[in-house]
Structure 1
Amino acid sequence: MRQSKTMASVPQRVFSGVQPTGNLHLGNYLGAIKRFVELQDRFGCIYCVVDLHAITVWQDPAELRRSIREVAAAFLAAGVDGEKHIVFNQSQVSGHAELAWIFNCVARLGWLNRMTQFKEKAGKDRENASVGLYAYPNLMAADILLYRATHVPVGEDQKQHLELARDIAQKFNNDFAASIAANGLDEKFFPLPEPLIAGPATRVMSLRDGSKKMSKSEPSDASRINLTDDADQIASKIRKAKTDPLPLPETVEGLKDRPEADNLVGIYAALADSDAAAVLAQYGGAQFSAFKQALVDLTVDKLAPINAEMKRLVADPGHIDRVLGHGAERADAIAETTMAAVKDIVGLIRRA
């Protein structure tokens, strides 16, 4: 029997994802995973291990499977509730790829040509980049809009992609306005998702170069604090983190043009659920050696329980796979409803 064409109004729903490309680090935790936990009390949340995004560049299959489970373990270890909310990996829900193709036909080439992240990731040899890497933003739009998400926690570097998702949603709603109305659906079928950008460390920088983002792909492991690092490794990396010769400033304005100081203060503030002004009120005027020791103590205190729980979860891959499978079933139920309506709107014939 065919599904009803009427759909309930869109609830306040968050969607976000993390790529399983290895070396989860402090930037992933502060910029994404910690915030996932904080949003659970305000929204219905869907958190995805975006493995289809990961394969826009070649991945070793065995390592990819390990990384998918590690990201899921990080979600759970940090406090994401996989029963109350939805945790799954993207490739288990076919609607992501299906809707992405439809959005490939809605989005304009000029829009994608303006995406700065493709230019950064492809580098000078763009002719050898995969089509998937180029069309990555359309898949990201599909990830969000498949669940008709209203809010997306994003870092500054992803704001452009979210703007594209909003443009695609708007163009779809406009292009198919008559069909949406004929199917008895809200004229704003796809909501225009709002960014959630907050906190003192939305963009965590390298410990070796305050002008570069902390990255999984950075050759030097000393540039990042991995979520799998033990206390000694964390302490060593923070103590060796690049700084300048001046003491910490006493005001936030004093952090200007001091990227390494600004980064370490931002990390402390984010871990302490505070802000830069409060951190400088306590440590301003001090030498970096004293501040770094305080940062070591705080970082170990916050990350050690997550590290231990991640190790426990990763040691039981069957449990993680069951969590992902259960989440995929729940995600798929929402996705199927959206895709049924999209196919009717576009004019495709669904299986009876």
Structure 2
Amino acid sequence: MQGRIFSGIQPTHGIHLGNYLGAIRHWVRLQGSYDCIYCIVDQHALTTLQDPQEMRRNTREAAAALVAAGVDPKRSILFVQSNVAAHSQLTWILSCVARMGWLNRMTQFKEKAGKDRENAPVGLFTYPVLMAADILVYKATHVPVGEDQKQHLELARDIAGSFNRRFGNELFPLPEPMILGEATRVMSLRDGTKKMSKSDPSDQSRINLTDDADAIALKFRRAKSDSILGITYDPEARPEASNLLTIYAALADRPRAEIEAEFAGTSFSEFKSRLADLAVEKLSPINAEMRRLQADPGYLDAILREGAERAAAIAGPVLKEAYELVGFLDPRER
């Protein structure tokens, strides 16, 4: 194995095509080369999602999506963040190492808090410290991230380095970012300048992994386009065309330039029809398997329970090392 990977996904509002192309399909492929730990980060989701029934439903849906897409709970560790207490415990230690100035520079907090920062939850501000703990408690060496998470990973590296220097120990490796594939940022089907998002009020803006074949085909055929003949990649001038071209290339697992050349003289309507067919072919099996898994929540819960036990067995000794370095007493030794 080439190292240890940690990555997480929030259980908010369902899993969509952007999550699949930008992250999940890569998680599946990495299983053969790395020691993989994949986490459903419900504690992060608590910063925005506070309906307990929806949280439980979305957590199981996320687990079903990952397994249906090919994450193997036997080859990888799949678990729920809140089920391993070491995440929260290490977060406090790292919070005493991180600096306010570092967190104040995090652009994602500024974007999500908006103008009403005084009423933003503290958890939203300290979110990157918990993310650092998620990674460091497993001594992960690599983290697959999108462009919007690179700053948080850089902070995790800063925190790890600061901890190591302060306590004179190389406990935490500095995790390396992994930016994978061309579709790391899939855009909305209604507005090619905005990222495909679970929070967009229009369901037509995204392809959900829970969408059936008819819904997938209809959404792609209705996707916003322009009147220029041929499908070319130009994110500034043709954001919608560029987005759909990128999606096609990712689903076909072919270079974007190759797809662009193939559809150089094609009308948008024909291209979208071909894209719809391809998407149905690739996503329908995942959708069907998700439905099967969600019909058996006990099976999903057993996977997550076993995963949490395996994750805790790795995180526990790392947390113990951190406790010893900062001077916490071990109750078992008194």
Same fold (TM over 0.5): yes
Deviation at 1:258, TM superposition (A): 1.1
One-letter code of the match for 1:76? V
Question: What residue number does 1:338 align with?
Answer: 318
Q: Is the 8 A contact 1:266 1:275 kept in 2?
A: no
Deviations 1:195-223 (A, max 9, x none): 11021110000001111000000000000
Cα 1:42/1:350, change in 2 over 3 Å: same
Matched, 1:238 2:226: no
Aligned partners of 2:18 and 2:196 also within 8 Å: yes
The answer to whether 1:60 aligns with 2:20 is no
Cross-structure match for 1:184? none
Distance 1:11 1:156 in 2: 23
Report SS of the residue matched to 1:36. helix
- TM-score of the superposition, structure 2-length normalised? 0.97
Which residue in 2 is equivalent to 1:139?
130
Residue in structure 2 matched with residue 37 of structure 1 by the alignment = 28
Where does 1:15-94 land on structure 2 (aligned, <5 Å)? 15-94=6-85
Does the CA-based 8 Å contact 2:14-2:62 persist in structure 1?
no
Corresponding residue for 1:121?
112
Residue 214 (structure 2) pairs with residue 223 (structure 1)? no
Distance 1:58 1:16 in 2: 20
Cα deviation, residue 256, structure 1: 4.6
**Equivalent residue number for residue 348 of structure 1:** 328
The reply on whether 1:199 has 2:190 as its aligned counterpart is: no
User: Percent identity between the aligned chains?
Assistant: 63
For residues 212 and 313 of structure 1, the distance between their equivalents in structure 2, rounded to whole angstroms, comes to: 32
C-alpha distance in 2 between matches for 1:189 and 1:24? 35
Q: Give the C-alpha shift of residue 57 in structure 1.
A: 2.1
Q: Could you tell me which residue of structure 2 aligns to residue 263 of structure 1?
A: 243
Spell out, residue by residue over 1:52-77, the C-alpha distance to the aligned partner (whole angstroms, 9 max, x if none): 00101242101100100000111100
Partner SS state of residue 56, structure 1: coil
Q: What is the CA distance between 1:85 and its match in structure 2? A: 1.0
Return the alpha-carbon distance in structure 1 between the equivalents of residues 280 and 141 of structure 2.
Answer: 35
Q: CA deviation at 1:33?
A: 0.9
Deviation at 1:120, TM superposition (A): 1.1
1:8-19 to structure 2, matched below 5 A, reads 12-19=3-10
Contact map agreement 1:204 1:213 (CA 8 A) in 2: yes
Q: Which amino acid is the alignment partner of residue 226 of structure 1?
A: N
SS in 1 for 2:331: coil
Counterpart code for 2:277: D
**Which residue, 298, 306, 314 being the options, matches 1:326?**
306
- Per the TM alignment, residue 273 of structure 1 is displaced from its structure 2 partner at its CA by 1.0
2:34 is matched by which residue type in structure 1? F
Q: What corresponds to 1:4 in structure 2? A: none
- Structure 1 partner of 2:252: 272
Alpha-carbon distance between aligned partners in 1 of 2:6 and 2:98, rounded to the nearest angstrom: 21
Residues 248, 261 of structure 1: 8 Å contact kept: no
Question: Residue 262 of structure 1 aligns to which amino acid in structure 2?
Answer: S
Tell me the equivalent position of 2:263.
283
Amino acid at match of 1:126: R
CA separation in 2, counterparts of 1:351 and 1:203? Answer: 47
Two-structure CA RMSD over aligned residues (Å): 1.2
TM-score (norm 1): 0.92
Partner SS state of residue 274, structure 1: coil
Q: Distance in 2 between matches of 1:122 and 1:237?
A: 31
Structure 1 residue 248: deviation in Å? 2.5
The CA deviation at 1:274 is 1.2
> What amino acid is the match of 1:111?
W
Determine the C-alpha separation between the residues in 2 that align with 1:155 and 1:297: 27
Q: CA deviation at 1:134?
A: 0.6
Instruction: Tell me how far apart the structure 2 counterparts of residues 75 and 23 of structure 1 sit (CA, whole Å).
Output: 12
Summarize the alignment of residues 96-115 of structure 1 with structure 2, pairs less than 5 Å apart. Answer: 96-115=87-106
- By how many angstroms is 1:23 displaced? 2.2
Moved over 3 A (4+): none
Distance 1:11 1:350 in 2: 33
Q: 2:309, 2:194 → 1: CA distance?
A: 39
Gaps spanning 5+ residues in structure 2: where?
none
Equivalent residue of 1:81, what SS?
coil
Q: For residues 50 and 294 of structure 1, what CA distance do their matches in structure 2 show? A: 35
Amino acid aligned to 2:298? G
In the alignment, is the contact (CA less than 8 A) between 1:155 and 1:203 conserved in 2?
yes
Supply the distance in 2 between the matched residues of 1:59 and 1:38 (Cα, whole angstroms): 33
8 A Cα contact 2:2 2:33, kept in partner: no
Distance 1:168 1:57 in 2: 25
Count matched residues: 332
